[in-house]
Chains A and B, each alone.
Chain A
Amino acid sequence: MNTLFIDTHADFIFLGIYKDNQLINKVEVFEKKDHSTICMPSLVKLLSDSRLTIQEIDDVIVVIGPGSFTGVRIGVTIAKVLAYTLNIPIRTITSLELYTKKVAEGYLVLEEKNGYYVAKKEREKLSGYEYIKKSEWEEWSKTKVIEFCKEIDYNHLATYSHKKEPTMSHIVNPFYVKKIEVEK
């Protein structure tokens, strides 16, 4: 079974092909701004490197954020349109879940320019996603066991994601967490 994994939540793009949960090929591009110009050409390259056509992809996993709003939207749009048009299963995973492998119980923290995305890890599950502004960070973090997200080990992520139930492409949406001005 060929699984396509799409991660565009940060200042890099990761696209991976897993064959029966084993990562067989990947494209990683570090690029802050131009996810749009890079993502689809990278997917085409990944498919050709893997000697696969898009029709030979059996399911999609997409990182829905939190992270760069525009970055996540690009990955999510591609993933949901792929899943819908190919009529294949789609699963979603949050950006913080990318880092859970080595983290013990406590708060997992993903830093960005003006603050931190946090979630609590209990019994292998993340919950209580929040955005903490840098100005509120000291107060918030004082009493908690925290661990910063550092490196992502993509190797196990297909196995991890496949434990989840697939969802409908129509309802796959970015997970923004952070509120925007008009929502406040």
Chain B
Amino acid sequence: MNKDVRILAIETSCDETSMAVVKNGKTVEALTISTQMKTHANFGGVVPEIASRMHTESITLVLEETLNKFPGSIDDIDAIAVTYAPGLLGSLLVGVECAKTLSLVYNKPLIAVNHTMGHIYANNIEHQITYPTLALIVSGGHTDLLVLKSETDMEILGSTIDDSVGEVFDKVARVLKMSYPGGPNIEKAALKGEDTYKLPSPMQDDTYNFSFSGLKSFVINLVHNETVKGNEIRVNDLAHSFQKTAIDELTRKVELALKNTGIKNMILAGGVSANQTLREEINKVCQKYNVTFHVPNILYCTDNAAMIGCAAYPLYKSQKFADFTLNAKSNENIKSYIENNK
């Protein structure tokens, strides 16, 4: 019988300082998430320098809390994993340096994890990813449609050619004067509204790419023009129409991919997958094509270290360890990650 593998994982790519211990890439044995959201809400968005400062302040506290929650001891840990990309450079560096120090002190191998891979592997916590599977990654930094052929083999079908869907949710929330973070507030307003605004559909094409900047600009211009004219904006209705248009586009491309590839498994990942309407719409398409659909619990959709521990497990099995020259990379997206790891 194979020995259990326990990975201590660290995630500091944006505004959450998080650590976790994950067994065999699946079982979360300890998890701490210290969020800075309230601080950044004062500024209407994440201030990178403040995020880095808060990570430095809380790093050993989060470590202590995580080790206290973990029923085993440090001797039971097999490796230290850390998010090195993508994200805010100064924030990533705090996690990376902490991970290297732990690796040195405890003499455990270091594993460098791409944050987006973490979002994908979060799906292993409550279910087990069945290959091949179609994966839609939606977050503040990403909108990607991928085919996961196996644990180590994946192919990008399409990505956003401009803004990510999460970014556009946040921008539209801002122009509608909603507080940060915008995404959940758009969703709440949308539930109270109706689809009464006619908005342009993004990319009317048959590629798997996405484009959201046109929709974003249209909504921003509409709000400005109506304000200038002294007309009232029906905020809930506009939120509803905007969300519907964005989700329709995501759903349409997912349907296209399911139809063309014949893949019978579908997962959703990333911060925006916390959106209930998106979950329901993707679920409907999956039912139509008799596809098994999974999405992580909301706790594991937003940034957390447990998902980093899950994504580190296949790297541990293939002994893909990092050395102490590991640096943070703010811009490494999933496309360049896949290219670099072929």
Show the binding face of A for B, using Cβ within 8 Å: 34, 36-41, 43-44, 54-55, 69-70, 73-74, 76-78, 80-82, 84-86, 169-170, 173-174, 176, 180, 182
Contacts and interface: CB of A to CB of B under 8 A. Distances in A.
Interface in B67-115: 89-90, 93-94, 96-98, 100-102, 104-106
A176 B324 CA distance: 26
B63 A81 contact: yes
Given A36-B93, A40-B97, A54-B104, A180 B49 contact: yes
A77 to B, nearest CB: 4
B47 interface: yes
Given A81-B98, A84-B64, 16 more contacts: A34-B327, A36-B96, A36-B326, A36-B328, A40-B324, A41-B325, A70-B93, A73-B52, A73-B93, A76-B56, A77-B56, A78-B97, A169-B60, A170-B60, A173-B57, A180-B50
Contact of B52 (A44, A55, A70, A81): A70
A173 B57 CA distance: 6
B61 interface: yes
A170 B97 contact: no
Nearest to B101: A81
Contact of A80 (B59, B100, B323): B59
Given A73-B52, A77-B98, A40 B93 contact: no
A69 B98 CA distance: 17
Given A54-B105, A69-B90, A182-B47, A39 B52 contact: no
Interface of B: 43, 47, 49-50, 52-53, 56-57, 59-61, 63-64, 89-90, 93-94, 96-98, 100-102, 104-106, 323-328
Nearest to A44: B324
A41 B97 CA distance: 11
B100 A37 contact: no
Contacts of A81: 59-60, 63, 97-98, 101-102, 105
Nearest to A75: B97
Give 6 nearest A-B pairs by CB, closest first: A40-B324, A81-B101, A84-B60, A77-B97, A40-B100, A85-B105
B49 A69 contact: yes
14 contacts: A36-B326, A37-B326, A40-B101, A41-B324, A70-B89, A74-B93, A77-B94, A81-B59, A84-B60, A84-B63, A85-B63, A170-B64, A173-B57, A180-B50
B25 to A, nearest CB: 24
Contacts of A74: 93, 97
A65 B301 CA distance: 37
Contacts of A76: 56
A70 B60 CA distance: 18
Given A36-B93, A40-B324, A73-B90, A170 B101 contact: no
B47 A36 contact: no
Contacts of B96: 36
A37 B97 CA distance: 9
Contacts of A180: 47, 49-50
A77 B325 contact: no
